[in-house]
Amino acid sequence: MNTYFDPSVQHALDLVGIFVFAISGALLAVRKNFDVFGMATLAEATGLGGGLFRDVVIGSVPPAAFEDLGYFLTPLLATALVFFLHPVVERINYAVLVFDAAGLGLFCATGTLKAHQYGLSLPASVALGLATAAGGGMLRDVLANEVPQLLRWDREMYAVPAIVGAGTVALLLRTSTLNAATMSAAALLAFALRMLSLRYGWRAPRAWHRTSRRTADTSASG
C-alpha cells in the first residue's frame, strides 16, 4: 500500500501529531481538576481517538494504535510532561496550537488517503479524513463533559480547514495527481487555514438571520 511518504517519516509524523493532540487532552484534564488517570485517559482519547475510529470503520484491524507500542506510549509521555510541567506548557499554549494545527493538516490528509486505499468512495474518504483529524478532540470534549470544540460557534474554525485539506486530497486522487509533494501541499493548506482562523478569529457562519428570528420568536411568545 503506497503511503506517498517514506514509512519511517510517516511514522515519525504520526507520533508528533499524536503527541500534540495528547497534550491538549492532558491540559483539559488539568483545567477540569482530573487526577493523573483522568489526564492519561483524555490524552489517549485525544491522541488516538480519530485514528481508531477510522481504522475500525475501514476494517483495518487490529488498529495501528494496538499494533505499535509507540502509538500507545506517546500519549502517556505527553501526560507525564503536562503532569510535571503544566504551568510551563500553559505558557507556551500558542506553540501547542501551532503543532495542533500541523497535526490537523497531517491527519486529515493521511486519513483520507488511507480510507480511499481501503476501497471507500471519495466522499466517504473525506468524511473519514475529517474524523481522523477531529475525532480525538470530540471524544476528549465528550469525556470531559464539554460541548465539542468542533460544534461551538464561538471558537475559530476547526472542521473547515480539515474538510478543505481532505477535499484537496480527494481531488488529487480523482485527477491522479497525488504524490508526496501534492499531499504535503494539501496538509499545508489545512494547516494554513487553521492558523489564519486563529490569527483573524475566523468562524463558521451560524443560521441565516438567527438573531432576528430569535427576537421575533421571543416577542411572539410574550
* 118/163 Cα distance (integer angstroms): 19
Task: Please tell me the predicted confidence (pLDDT) of residue 222.
Answer: 45
Specify burial of residue 164 (Cβ count, 10 A radius: 0-12, 13-18, 19+).
buried
**pLDDT (mean) for 134-140:** 92
**Residue 53: is its pLDDT beyond 70?**
yes
For the record, the C-alpha cell of 118 comes out as 481501503
Task: Please tell me the predicted confidence (pLDDT) of residue 5.
Answer: 64
Q: How many CA atoms lie within 13 A of 123 on its CB side?
A: 0
* 124/5 Cα distance (integer angstroms): 23
Task: Please tell me the predicted confidence (pLDDT) of residue 216.
Answer: 43
Q: What is the pLDDT of residues 75-85, one digit of tens each?
A: 999 999 999 98
For the record, the C-alpha cell of 218 comes out as 421571543
Cα–Cα separations (whole angstroms), residue 64 to 55, 116, 208: 8, 17, 42
56-60, 117-121, 216-220: the lowest-pLDDT one: 216-220
Residue type (1 letter), 102: A
Query: Cα angle vertex 70, ends 125, 116, to 5°?
Result: 10
18-32, 117-131, 162-176, 195-209: the lowest-pLDDT one: 195-209
When pLDDT is cut at 50, 70 and 90, the band that residue 4 belongs to is: low
Residues 6+ apart with CB under 8 A from 193: 157, 160, 161, 164, 165
For the record, the C-alpha cell of 40 comes out as 492519561
Mean of pLDDT over the chain = 87
**Residue 213: is its pLDDT beyond 80?**
no
Q: What is the dihedral of CA 208, 212, 214, 220, to 10 degrees?
A: -130
